[in-house]
Structure formats: C-alpha cells, structure tokens
Amino acid sequence: MLNKVKARFLIGVGGLIAVSFMVMIGYTIGSQTISKQRENQIRAEANKLVSKKKQEERATVLSDELVKEFLTQYFTKVQMGENNTRIKPYMTDSAFSEEEASQNKAINQVYKDYMLDYRFESASIYVNTESHVALAEVSYQVTYVSDLSEQQQRTTQTETKTIMLSYSKVSDKLLVNQLTIWNGKLEDMKEATDGANSSIPTIQGTTTSENN
C-alpha cells in the first residue's frame, strides 16, 4: 500500500515537473518570438527613417538621376501637352506657365497633331551641383504623320536635342525654374558656334552620366 502511495506521489511530482518544463519552454519560445518580432519592427522603422532621409537629401541635391526623371517625363508623351500633369510637379509655377505658353504658340499648335508618340530613349547628362544647372543631350523617338486622314502614313525616327535646365530650391525641393532647348547634339552645336559668342554654356565642375 505504501509503495502504491509513493508511486502515485512520484508520478504526480514527475507530471508536475513535466508540465512546468513545458510551460517554461513555451514561455521561452514565446519570448524569443516576441523579441524577434520586436527586432524586425525596429529594423523596419530604422530602414524607413534611412529611406526618408535619403529621399529628402535627394530632393535637395541636384543629381543626374533627378534630371533624368524630369527628362523622361518631358520627352514621353502621346502628343505635345499630354504630359503636362506629369511634368508639372518637377517645375516651378513660372517655368510651367512658360512651358504652356510655348505650347500654345500658333506654330506649335499647327504641328501638334502631326507629331505623336514621343518616347524618351537616352540622355548624356552634365550636372553642376553648385549652380544647380544641368545640360543634357537627349535622344527620343517621335512618330510623324503625313495627314489627319485614315490613310495617313506614319514614320518613326530618332531625334536629338540639347537641353539646359536651371533649378531653384522651393520648399526644400529642387524644381526646374528655366528650360532652354536647342536642336541637335551638344558637341556639334559647340563646334559650329564661336566659343565667345556661343549660346551653349560651359558647365564647370560637373558630374557626367550616360542614361538609357
């Protein structure tokens, strides 16, 4: 009888120890899981802060990437004016107003429906971070239509333009404040123009990038 009581006692103690052990393991695993989740949360928040800081710095420092973003939007459009809502966030109010005024000139309106499907291809970009000025030689595709009839003929070809962008800081962002465009390649235009009288400026202290 005594042995049975001892056996039951030992079984009960053993069961209690086993349950306690399982509870302890469960608590440890749970704590580790919570700790891991907390660690992941902290890392995610840290990455967000770093990303936000980089975006803020990127918006205030003129770079070839920032210039390329604008050029891509500017030279990609169904027809002249179709991309206005996309380029407006990159420009000051005065620069955007000048762009709209240029689009509304009679000569540009005449050819508007005959030049379609503009597609940005590539750009050689020269940036002066001190003066906030950029020069770019841009290649893009455009489709010319012979007339507005259903039997119109379409011809797609690659065009090249040289563009100068002057940026101004507005509310901690760099926006295009002045835009000047010339037909042709930058190198050809400089060779064809006398250096002293050239309308194409020379940008000192530049960084250069070829973007596709």
* pLDDT tens, residue order, the chain (212 aa): 545 544 454 455 455 565 565 656 666 666 666 566 666 665 665 555 555 455 555 557 899 999 999 999 999 999 999 999 999 999 999 999 999 999 999 999 988 999 999 999 999 999 998 899 999 999 999 999 988 888 889 999 999 999 999 999 998 899 999 999 999 888 876 666 555 445 555 554 444 455 55
Backbone angles phi, psi at 55, to 5 degrees: -65, -40
Q: What is the largest CA-CA distance in the chain?
A: 119
In terms of Cα–Cα distance, which of 162, 160, 168 is closest to 136? 162
CA–CA dist 143, 46 (Å, integer): 47
Cα R_g (the chain), whole angstroms: 33
**Listing from the earlier edge strand, what are the strands of the sheet with 207-211?**
173-183, 154-170, 133-145, 115-128, 207-211
